[in-house]
Structure 1
Amino acid sequence: MEWIRRYVTQRSAAKREGLSNFEGVLMPSVRKLIEKNARDIYGLRVIPVDVFEFEVDDGEESYVVNLTNKTCHCGSWTLIGIPCKHAMACIVLRKLDANEFVHEAYHIERYAKTYGPKFHGMPGHKMWPTTTFAKPLPPPFRKMPGRPDKRKRKKEADEGKGGNKAATVVREYKPRKCSNCGDLGHYKKKCKNPPKPPTTKEKSKGGRPKKGSSSTQQLTTNDMPCTSSQPQTQSASCVIDQISQIK
């Protein structure tokens, strides 16, 4: 906010100093525009309809100009408040003063009133008088609905690397831990160390045995006891009976 106050103060002072170089009734830029429009009236055909109302032919188009209402159908005069070339053709035809048809906002007198109020200097904040009022607090934070915007806002001059480094928020660095050997600084894909031995917690963990491990035993026909009269050979009916009992 401080740079805004100083910018407005310097601009107002510069505008007041520039008023001494202005001459006449209108601002220099407005006077140049009127002179340009006055040079462009050649080739226009002006047809008087009334004392202050005209039809102006500009090529294939025709525009109605009313000097009393300060209007032209081209819209330029109404938009910026400066007579267009169609209006200037009518003003020259009636031998009137073009300054009277310009909006008063472009007059030097109004310009001087705009930048008339002066700004006074302000000391540093350490010299400000203390008050008993409570310090202003920021509004309460409210989380807006929807996905948060990922675009970063533009930082001020005293934020981040460009200003006060203490205001920079640095993310806490956490070193990587390898899941194979347990060391820090690398991960399993680039690990060259042997795997770490299992801990007591990992040994005590129960769970379903993995497929194909030694703890699982597959039941085969050789391990099944057979009640047949022939101990050396197994009949097909004996195997089917044993399988049905297991199910």
Structure 2
Amino acid sequence: MGRHDVNADAKRVFDTITAGGAVILPGDIGYGAGASSSEALQRLFVAKKRAPHKRHAMVGNYELHREVHELGSREQEIVDAITLDADLPLCVVAPYRADHPVVAAVEAETLAASTVGNTLAMLVNGGRLQEEVVRLCHQAGVPFLGSSANLTGTGTKFRVEDIQQPILDAVDLVIDYGLRKYHHYRRSSTIIDFSTMEVVRIGSCYDLISDIMARQFGIRLPVDPGREALPSGHLREQTAPAT
């Protein structure tokens, strides 16, 4: 018992995913399940009973976001106000650099399942452990992708004991840090597509994010109808266009 050893836990996660495994790890917005290899990510997809059109998100940090995403100056200002000034979690959807070493290291089938057109979703400010894992991955040129650690449609889990057994069985390592920081929102990350300035999903800290965008940038986001009316928070599916 005692304090969590974040650096040691991050190394365990890094070693597991670089060996081709899958992990469950804590984030401020709930528990996530992630991997690097296509095989491990597919295993998670099957365990989650996730529809094929659903996208992976890249687990990132601010530095990786700046290197990978290509945003206009105003859009970047908004991301900076939310993630740097207010230190809030945000999943940023934006055009990306396919030639960035971390993106280029994503296997073709995984990249196809992680992008929509010319955009890639990346979580920024996922929490201290995720930040350290991403730092190690970034340094090694290793991608880290995933989604929430739950059966599809059952909502984000904020304690390991609430994660369903098929998800636990699909991973090689579970890191348990107890109840997560933003559990009171009962939703995963807020996702904003900065290529269209649309809210993809209403999630954690949406009230604070909405206030920043209205007060500082004059942008009024859709009103949250509440969890009873919109449990998932999705206003738009982050999916590939129909063909």
Q: TM-score, length-normalised on structure 2?
A: 0.16
* Relative contact order higher in (CA < 8 Å, ≥ 6 apart): 2
Name the structure where strand makes up a greater proportion of residues. 2
Larger radius of gyration: 1
TM-score normalised to the size of structure 1?
0.16
